[in-house]
Structure 1
Amino acid sequence: MSDKSPSSETSPAEPPKRKRALPVLAKKRAPDSQPEREIFARNLRRARIDASLSQRELAAVTGIAQAHISELENAMHNVCIDTMVKLAQAVKKPLFQMFQP
């Protein structure tokens, strides 16, 4: 007979901790990037800077996440019309100007 007491038993091994993914430091533009997306991205950044707004301030005004604004300024995503309207209004530009080369 073994005289193992509950305190002398080893506890089951803890599951291994998940490793955190390393942050992505540089993202490339979408491979299917359209010229219009590039134009909108460039004009959005210019208009934001001309309006003396940081991305964080523009995010606060529009309710659009700062990370999403960054991705739009880098032509990484398509942008829906509602978002374009919010952004154009926030930087005080008519929407059509956001597409002029």
Structure 2
Amino acid sequence: NEPRAVAAFDSRPRMQAAYMRWVASSAELIKQLAPNQLVTIGSEGWTPYADYVNVDYLAAHSDPNVDYLTVHIWPQNWDWYDPEASLDETLELSRTYLEQHVASA
């Protein structure tokens, strides 16, 4: 669930490459063991913390053994939701987030 390539700044390219190898090898293994099983990564999608997560969302899901994309929405964790403020803004940000991911799928 929500795998990441978190690393110190100077190690990010190496960690992102390792993450991509992990996605490819894991998805391939699942398909070998269970060829009819749908495979996904469990990614959050694009987050407000892309530098921290260090994952190329579309590249990771373009592996031929990955069947579909996932997203998770964390409005409060991402500071989109304030219990004292209006819910409308949170809903709009969440809706836009989903629409962006659907358009990229």
TM-score (norm 1): 0.25
TM-score (norm 2): 0.25
Bigger radius of gyration among the two: 1
